[in-house]
Structure 1
Amino acid sequence: MGTVTVVGAGVVGLSVAHELARAGHRVSVVADRAAADSVSGVAAAIWFPHDVDHSATVLESAAVTYRRLAELAGDPRTGVSLRGGTVLSRRAGVDTSWTRAVPHTAPAAPDGLPPGATGIRCTVPLVETSTYLAWLRGRVAALGVRFRAAAVTSIAGLLRDDDADALVVAAGLRSAALLGDDDVSFPIRGQVVRLANPGLTDWITDDDNPGGLTYVVPRRDDVVCGGTGDVGCWDERVDPDVEAAILERVVALVPALAGQPVRSRAAGLRPGRAGVRVGPVAGHDRPVYACYGHGGAGFTLSWGDAARIAAMLPPDGLPGPVAAPDAGGQ
């Protein structure tokens, strides 16, 4: 058994804390934002490896998370459900490797699809973010994890003031600055508008929409409509012109949304990176691990990557610091 501090309280940080505590570690979480106030609270939170590479490791983590969320869907307190929907494509040669992580997929019937589009039908987990993040934090706290509200400005400073045996950096976009990884990490700005739900149950995603990224994700009380994928943009303000364009696209895709009142709106910064980073970080006097760069797939990879981190920190003896030069990557 060791003591581990997790930096970050979004869906990835909470999942990491859960798995480490379940393995027997004494865990603390430090963050200056609650999960609901992070990009995790903005997400449509439908299972899909969006804005990340589809490497074998990523797809394995996605599959692990799929199975875990599917199990949680049996408990209404979690806010997880299994929903059918369609992934649209409008070009040849689109990457469908993600289907290997889904138990069953089938071609969508051409009736009702946009002209020139094809589709893949599948059932995936959908997370009601406010319910799920509150449930997950409660589960983490029940495992004895302690929470501290503080801004972490440097890893060296945290290690100086914290006596934990090991540190896991799972702070989303902020992780890159903390670990000197800015050259391969970048924000991906996402904006959504949430409309009243007129009775929709099926979701639809349209990455190849000529007007821009488009998705419609019905939840219990609203429909998350998006979106944007503005690489390198740090602006977290809601842009009314962007919202108007999103509404035009989603209504064209799902006419039942026309005239539905706006419930809320939001923008957030997805933690983009050249590759998801999960593993040890060199150059510190105690073991430090990275778990970030999940792009638009934080909910999709959360349990799988948390399990990977837990496997690297066995409760019967934490490994020592990494002395070799850190090459980044995964």
Structure 2
Amino acid sequence: MTTSSDVLVVGAGVSGLSVGILLLKQGYSVEVWAKDIPPHTTSDVAAALWYPYLCQPRNKAITWSKNTHDYLKEHALPDPRSGCIVRSFLELFEEPVGEPWWAEAVDSYRHVCPEELPPGYVDGYQTDVVLMDSEVYMRWLVDVFSELGGVLTVRELYDFGEAFAVNPLVINCTGLGSRELCSDEKVYPVRGQVVRAALNSFSDIVVSETASGLSLIAPRIDDVVLGGTTQAHNWNTEEDPADTADILRKVAALSPDFENVTVLDVKVGLRPARDEVRLEAEKVDGGVLIHNYGHGGAGYTLSWGCAQDVVALVQANLHR
């Protein structure tokens, strides 16, 4: 049995669907296989703001981040179905800092004035970034993928040999699943827990990472995401009430607007971390396997930039 598609993508998170869409736009026929599809992917849990977090190597991540930033502005923001908005973004620090390493990826940024800083902080950056409502955005990706002619199939893969039995060009976008599928022990989970709360008048994104951990305020269109946790090698996908209490305590310290919040939901996801993103073509028995995984806490931020590089690898390895 063979598929009628030119390319088979494994994984239907933000990385897999972004790859599928760009390939379709280049005229390739594409099928995606995935154990879980939206709204049941790790990507659906993410706070989903443009912010290159927990990703390496930086010299490549800066290009991927910029290309994603540009793609979102050109293709996602103009489409009201995408769930994307632009928000002012403030990153806070307890010590003086220099230029952000991601400065080249944004149109502009500035160091904030001392009077703009909450107590305990001495420096910070301000820029404008794209914020995505993850479930809305993922649904939009599925819709665009389908409208372009892509085929989405629910199928759990236990070995890439199953994929090569039907297609000689396979793209691996399985995230944390690559730990087993590729026997890659460099891939490990970084547990993230977030609180979804009722929207209030607070409209800026605020991020702070201190010795006590990560704090995040991300006001979306209809709610606000509060975070978070960065717990390496933690496989727990259930809510930890202690983490919820800690998140609420820390965001209240960032702004009095969050001293009393209405909690709507608590979500947990496992970020697919790695010492660096694996994006390369590997010749294997049965065909070519293109890897695109290990994006850490920056799956959305790197998505379109990495997808563009995957398309280039497909063009180099698939001769029609």
TM-score, normalising length: structure 2: 0.94
> CA-to-partner distance for each residue in 1:196-247, whole Å, 9 max, x for gaps?
1112210100012x42111100111111001011011111011001100110
Matched residue, 1:128: 133
Matched residue, 2:143: 138
> CA-to-partner distance for each residue in 1:276-320, whole Å, 9 max, x for gaps?
1111124332011000100010100000000100011128x6169
CA distance in 1, matches of 2:258, 2:146: 39
- 8 Å CA contact retained: 2:92, 2:121: no
Matched residue, 2:43: 40
Please tell me the residue identity of whatever aligns with 2:219: P
CA distance in 2, matches of 1:30, 1:272: 22
1:273 deviates by 0.3
CA distance in 2, matches of 1:102, 1:82: 12
The reply on whether 1:266 has 2:267 as its aligned counterpart is: yes
Structure 1 window deviating more from structure 2 (199-208 vs 277-286): it is: 277-286
Please tell me the residue identity of whatever aligns with 2:318: L
User: Kindly tell me: are residues 134 and 6 of structure 1, through their superposed partners in 2, closer, same or farther at Cα, counting changes over 3 Å?
Assistant: same
- 8 Å CA contact retained: 2:83, 2:221: no
CA distance in 1, matches of 2:197, 2:258: 8
1:94 deviates by 6.8
Query: Runs of at least 4 residues of structure 1 off by over 3 A?
Result: 91-95
- Aligned with 1:108 (options 78, 98, 112): 112
- 8 Å CA contact retained: 1:287, 1:319: no
Structure 1 residue runs without a partner (length 5+)? 321-330
Please tell me the residue identity of whatever aligns with 2:146: A
Please tell me the residue identity of whatever aligns with 2:89: G
CA distance in 2, matches of 1:9, 1:63: 23
Q: Which residues of 2 match residues 130-209 of structure 1 at below 5 A?
A: 130-160=135-165, 162=166, 164-182=167-185, 184-208=186-210
CA distance in 2, matches of 1:306, 1:314: 12
CA distance in 1, matches of 2:277, 2:319: 22
Secondary structure at 2:224's aligned position in 1?
Answer: strand
1:138 deviates by 0.6
Give the number of aligned pairs.
315
- 8 Å CA contact retained: 1:2, 1:165: no
**Superposition RMSD in Å:** 1.8
User: Kindly tell me: are residues 141 and 269 of structure 1, through their superposed partners in 2, closer, same or farther at Cα, counting changes over 3 Å?
Assistant: same
Matched residue, 2:80: 76
- 8 Å CA contact retained: 1:61, 1:305: yes
Structure 1 window deviating more from structure 2 (35-44 vs 59-68): it is: 35-44
